[in-house]
């Protein structure tokens, strides 16, 4: 009898099984609005032109080798990543209160941060995630032993942020709880707090000494403006918080499979930063020894070259604009069709996703009758829509909500 006899079957990953279903579908009109990866208007993966240029520079470098990177990653990369999120003039950077560790994309960054907190964060074993959130928040924090709780976020009736309920949960949470906050372009709802609301959130979190753990997977991809998308994180730093930021370069560099990420750490003093960093290195050593090189080399080249950096911003604008255009196009078509309900939330929302408000049973009909694939919660990836399929999509939505 096998030693694995008692291992139960785990459920398949929702997103990846959705994609498998889409691939197997032979209908010519099929639409995949499930997966969260950018697509061009031809619905093809997009290699950023600036990434192609960085590739050429990288592979023309006669000194390129395949040695191990330092345990915490390449310093020019981690420094540039920290600068990108915190801002050139961040008080924390000037006061040497910032450490950064190269991680395996955003997921690895959340995992490294969560594992560190599970060892060294003594104030609370409770970690709060938004309801709803990206499924991996719960997965990762539960895996390293946190009690995962939810804070209200999406208000289905308002089709917007449940701000007061969110603040109330923050007020009632035990002192020093950890709160996972989406820095921008909340996944799955596409709803971000306004600047005024972020100020209110910071105030309550400060009163309750909660620890902010920002997840930043869409900087520059959301609004097309890197500084705008970093506003909340920078505001919290200005307010004197110690915090973690998990950064992913999957979306904003289109480096999904290359797993380029960074964990930016802000503490109260350079003394603390040094000790925290030493433990991060120790942790990283036991988990992965050294981070993967390729994706980070691309990001390193671009972030540290003014001309390429400027070009990257243009590439970001192209991606964010296409998404924003698709929001407008969908809104216009649903309005023109007189589709029952209000749809302005589609253009109000930001980032890769829109939380449409479609119910699980409507989602089912969309799949069975129209070969349109989305998650049961009615979340659509705007990048799955194009000028070619938007009419088909809007008509299908119109049909299922009637």
Q: Is 263 in the site for ligand PMP (CB under 6 A)?
A: no
What count of other Cβ atoms lies within 10 Å of the Cβ of residue 124? 19
CA distances (Å), origin 44, targets 37, 220, 384: 10, 21, 10
Shortest distance, position 118 Cβ to ligand PMP, whole Å: 19
CA distance 104 to 247: 10
Which residue carries 């990369």 as its tokens?
77
Q: Is 215 in the site for ligand PMP (CB under 6 A)?
A: yes
Residue 348: active-site member: no
Asked if 350 contacts 223 with a C-beta cutoff of 8 angstroms, the reply is yes
Q: Is 36 in the site for ligand PMP (CB under 6 A)?
A: yes
Q: Which two tokens stand for residue 257?
A: 């499979």
Q: Is 292 in the site for ligand PMP (CB under 6 A)?
A: no
Q: Is 264 in the site for ligand PMP (CB under 6 A)?
A: no
Q: Is 276 in the site for ligand PMP (CB under 6 A)?
A: no
Q: Is 248 in the site for ligand PMP (CB under 6 A)?
A: yes
- Which helix (H) or strand (E) covers residue 149, if one does? strand 147-152
Q: Which of 217, 226, 316, 350 forms a contact with ligand PMP (CB under 6 A)?
A: 217
Asked if 237 contacts 271 with a C-beta cutoff of 8 angstroms, the reply is no
Q: Is 351 in the site for ligand PMP (CB under 6 A)?
A: no
Shortest distance, position 123 Cβ to ligand PMP, whole Å: 24
Catalytic residue among 30, 53, 251, 367: 251
* Binding window for ligand PMP (CB under 6 A); candidates: 54-62, 104-112, 171-179, 263-271: 104-112
* Binding window for ligand PMP (CB under 6 A); candidates: 105-113, 146-154, 263-271, 295-303: 105-113
Asked if 112 contacts 263 with a C-beta cutoff of 8 angstroms, the reply is yes
Name the residue nearer to ligand PMP (CB basis): 159 or 259: 259
Q: Which of 261, 291, 295, 384 forms a contact with ligand PMP (CB under 6 A)?
A: 261
Residue 134: active-site member: yes
Q: Is 191 in the site for ligand PMP (CB under 6 A)?
A: no
Q: Is 105 in the site for ligand PMP (CB under 6 A)?
A: yes
Shortest distance, position 36 Cβ to ligand PMP, whole Å: 5
**CA 16, 22, 27: angle at the middle one, nearest 5?**
180
Query: Judging by DSSP bridges, how do beta strands 260-266 and 243-248 pair with one another?
Result: antiparallel
* Binding window for ligand PMP (CB under 6 A); candidates: 103-111, 115-123, 267-275, 368-376: 103-111
Q: Is 375 helix (H, G, I), strand (E, B) or coil?
A: coil
Q: Is 134 in the site for ligand PMP (CB under 6 A)?
A: yes
DSSP codes, 311-356: HHHHHHHHHHHHHHHHHHHHHHHHHHHT-SS--HHHHH--SSEEE-
Instruction: Let me know if 397 is exposed, middle or buried by CB neighbors in 10 A (0-12, 13-18, 19+).
Output: buried
**CA 308, 302, 76: angle at the middle one, nearest 5?**
140
Closest to 351 measured CA to CA, from 223, 256, 263, 215: 223
Q: Is 250 in the site for ligand PMP (CB under 6 A)?
A: yes
Q: Is 296 in the site for ligand PMP (CB under 6 A)?
A: no
Q: Is 192 in the site for ligand PMP (CB under 6 A)?
A: no
Q: Is 237 in the site for ligand PMP (CB under 6 A)?
A: no
Residue closest to ligand PMP when measured from CB atoms: 106
CA distance 221 to 226: 8
Residue 198: active-site member: no
- Which helix (H) or strand (E) covers residue 32, if one does? strand 31-32
Catalytic residue among 30, 79, 162, 215: 215
Q: Is 113 in the site for ligand PMP (CB under 6 A)?
A: no
- Which helix (H) or strand (E) covers residue 165, if one does? helix 163-172
Q: Is 212 in the site for ligand PMP (CB under 6 A)?
A: no
Peptide bond between residue 132 and the one before it cis (omega within 30 degrees of 0): yes
How many Cα atoms sit within 13 Å of 151 on the Cβ side? 28
Name the residue nearer to ligand PMP (CB basis): 211 or 256: 256
Name the residue nearer to ligand PMP (CB basis): 247 or 362: 247
* Binding window for ligand PMP (CB under 6 A); candidates: 69-77, 99-107, 311-319, 371-379: 99-107
Q: Which two tokens stand for residue 335?
A: 């309005």
Number of residues that bind ligand PMP (CB under 6 A): 12
Catalytic residue among 134, 154, 198, 312: 134
The residues binding ligand PMP (CB under 6 A) are 36, 105-107, 134, 182, 187, 215, 217, 248, 250, 261
User: Catalytic amino acids?
Assistant: 134, 215, 251
């Amino acid at each position: 009898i096998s030693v694995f006899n008692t291992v139960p079957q785990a459920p398949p990953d929702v997103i990846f099984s959705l994609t498998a279903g889409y691939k197997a579908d032979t209908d010519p009109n099929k639409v995949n609005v499930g997966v969260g990866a950018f697509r061009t208007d031809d619905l093809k993966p997009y290699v950023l032109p600036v990434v192609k240029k960085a590739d050429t520079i990288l592979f023309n470098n006669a000194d390129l080798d395949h040695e191990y990177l330092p345990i915490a990653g390449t310093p020019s990369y981690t420094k540039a990543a920290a600068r990108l999120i915190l801002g050139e003039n961040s008080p924390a950077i000037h006061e040497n209160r910032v450490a950064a560790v190269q991680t395996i994309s955003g997921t690895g960054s959340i995992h490294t941060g969560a594992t560190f907190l599970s060892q060294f964060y003594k104030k609370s074993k409770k970690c709060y995630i938004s309801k709803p959130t990206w499924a991996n928040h719960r997965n990762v924090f539960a895996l390293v032993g946190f009690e995962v709780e939810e804070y209200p976020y999406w208000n289905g009736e308002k089709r917007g942020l449940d701000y007061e309920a969110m603040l109330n949960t923050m007020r009632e949470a035990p002192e020093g709880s950890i709160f996972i906050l989406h820095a921008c372009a909340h996944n799955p709802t596409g709803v971000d707090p306004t600047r005024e609301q972020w100020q209110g959130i910071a105030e309550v979190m400060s009163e309750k000494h909660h620890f902010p753990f920002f997840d930043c997977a869409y900087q520059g991809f959301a609004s097309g403006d890197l500084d705008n998308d970093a506003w909340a994180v920078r505001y919290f730093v200005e307010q004197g918080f110690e915090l973690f930021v998990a950064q992913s370069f999957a979306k904003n560099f289109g480096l999904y499979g290359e797993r380029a990420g960074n964990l930016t750490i802000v503490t109260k003093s350079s003394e603390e930063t040094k000790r925290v960093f030493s433990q991060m290195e120790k942790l990283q050593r036991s988990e992965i020894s050294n981070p993967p090189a390729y994706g980070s080399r691309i990001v390193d080249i671009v972030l540290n070259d003014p001309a390429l950096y400027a070009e990257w911003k243009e590439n970001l604008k192209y991606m964010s604009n296409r998404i924003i255009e698709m929001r407008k196009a969908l809104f216009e078509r649903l309005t023109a069709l007189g589709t029952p309900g209000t749809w302005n939330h589609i253009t109000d929302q930001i980032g890769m996703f829109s939380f449409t408000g479609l119910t699980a049973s409507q989602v089912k009909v969309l799949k069975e009758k129209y070969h349109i694939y989305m998650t049961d919660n009615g979340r659509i990836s705007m990048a799955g829509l194009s000028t070619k399929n938007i009419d088909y999509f809007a008509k299908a939505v119109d049909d299922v909500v009637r």
